[in-house]
Every structure is written in structure tokens, then in C-alpha cells.
Chain A
Amino acid sequence: DAKTTQPNSMESNEEEPVHLPCNHSTISGTDYIHWYRQLPSQGPEYVIHGLTSNVNNRMASLAIAEDRKSSTLILHRATLRDAAVYYCTRVSGNTPLVFGKGTRLSVIA
């Protein structure tokens, strides 16, 4: 049970912003929201994580809803190299990462 819900697939044009949604309506107060992505033929790689406030790093931004029941990963300008499966997970303490099927992002040139 991934405890998160994501769309199966999304499509974006190159150099356009992409908003990848994740629903985690049963999230607890101590759960962090982590995003990983998996490029073709590679292992997952960490993207970003947050607890309550919006977060930015060199790869992406994470917008967390005020009630924390959903979040959105934002890629500001999609490139072909961003084509991957994006996973949203909940992490509390040392709980193992639980992955669902994620969202497969296609980027069109």
C-alpha cells in the first residue's frame, strides 16, 4: 500500500512547466513527503522532500497543500532528460520507502 495516489501518466512539451500531483490524504503529522524519479534503465534518484513548507532545489520545487493532503512537484522547464517515472512517497522516521506505480512523464520536443 503506497498510501499515495498519482496519475499513471502525464505529457509535457519541452521547456514548458510541469506540475505532477500527488494525493496523500491519510498523511500523519510526522510524515515527510519525498519525491524520487527513475530514468530509463537506472535506479531511482532523489528529487526533493518537504514537511509543511514549500521547498525549492536545483532540480525542482515542491508545493505542499496547507492541509498536507496533497502536494505537487513542479519542474519549471521540462527537458527531454526529465522524461522518467516520478514517485511520491511518505517517510516517517526510519520507515522504508513505499513506492506506488508513479507517474510516467513524457516530454515532447
Chain B
Amino acid sequence: DAGVTQSPTHLIKTRGQQVTLRCSPKSGHDTVSWYQQALGQGPQFIFQYYEEEERQRGNFPDRFSGHQFPNYSSELNVNALLLGDSALYLCASSLGLAGETQYFGPGTRLLVL
């Protein structure tokens, strides 16, 4: 049973560029949440997708956007990259919207130069 997978594992971009990160949820899961984890900090919630719609959003600017596809996979897009966007981006999947246990992927490490 495949767990949550994310791609790419590492990425280097320059300021002002745009980036797309991808996530495939654990088999049987239909809800995807994205988190940003700066070095030495706990993960911070970005947004959650269910039934191809953004259901909840954390305190992140509109430069952060996402999408969920009919097969439940998801993308995180970040426009106009800033140095401060350098972080580990984590995807987590779960079943439904009842606060079920979340399963995290290994993350994508983004470095903005």
C-alpha cells in the first residue's frame, strides 16, 4: 500500500520564479492538506483540499494556490517566490473532513536563492 508521495524531493529556484509541487495521497484517501515547515519550526498549515475545492486556508498570501484533481492528487503552486519561501513543503492526506488522522509525505525541500 503506497503511502503519500511527493515530487520533486528537492528544488532550487530564484526569487520571482514560480514553482509547482505535487502530491499523491495514500490509497483510499480523498483529502489533501499542505504544510510549510521552516527550519527548526513545526509545520504550518497552508490549505486543505477536498472534492477538488479549497476547504480551509491558513495565514498564507494569495501567492500560494493549489489544485486537487479527480484522482485526489494535488498540486501546490507558489508565485513570485521570496527568499522566505525556502522551506520543507509537506503534503498530508486523510479520509473525509471529520478530523481523521493525517498521513504525511516525506516533503519537498525548496530553496529560493
Interface residues of A (CB under 8 A from B): 2, 32, 34, 41-46, 49, 85, 87, 91-102
The 9 closest A-B pairs by CB, nearest first: A99-B42, A43-B104, A96-B45, A94-B97, A46-B101, A44-B104, A99-B43, A91-B99, A43-B90
Report how far A85 CA is from B43 CA in the complex, Å: 12
In the complex, which residues of chain A have a beta carbon less than 8 angstroms from the beta carbon of B48?
94, 96
Asked whether any CB of chain A lies closer than 8 Å to the CB of B18, the reply is no
Chain B positions 81-113 with a Cβ under 8 Å from a chain A Cβ: 90, 92, 97-99, 101-107
Contact, CB under 8 Å: B40 / A97: no
Contact between chains at A97 and B101 (CB < 8 Å): no
| Docked-complex contact A46 and B102, CB < 8 angstroms | yes
- Jot down 11 A-B pairs with beta carbons below 8 A, ordered by A: A32-B99, A41-B106, A43-B105, A85-B42, A94-B55, A94-B99, A96-B33, A97-B33, A97-B43, A97-B45, A97-B102
B31 CB to nearest chain A CB (Å): 9
Contacts beyond the supplied A99-B42, A100-B42: 7 A-B pairs with Cβ under 8 Å: A42-B106, A44-B92, A85-B42, A92-B99, A94-B99, A97-B45, A102-B42
In the complex, whether B44 has a CB less than 8 A from a CB of chain A is yes
B6 to chain A: closest residue by CB: A43
A95 to B4: give the CA distance in the assembly, Å: 21
Within 8 A of A (CB), among B35-74: 35, 40-45, 48, 55-56, 58
- CB B55 to nearest CB in A, in angstroms, measures 8
B99 close to A2 (CB less than 8 A): no
**A89 nearest in chain B by CB position:** B42
Enumerate chain A residues within 8 angstroms of B102, measured Cβ to Cβ. 46, 97
- Cβ of A87: which chain B residues have Cβ within 8 Å of it? 42
Q: How far is the CA of A2 from the CA of B97 in the complex (A)?
A: 21
Contacting residues, chain A, for B40 (C-beta < 8 A): 101
Q: Please, which residues of chain B bring their CB within 8 A of the CB of A41?
A: 106
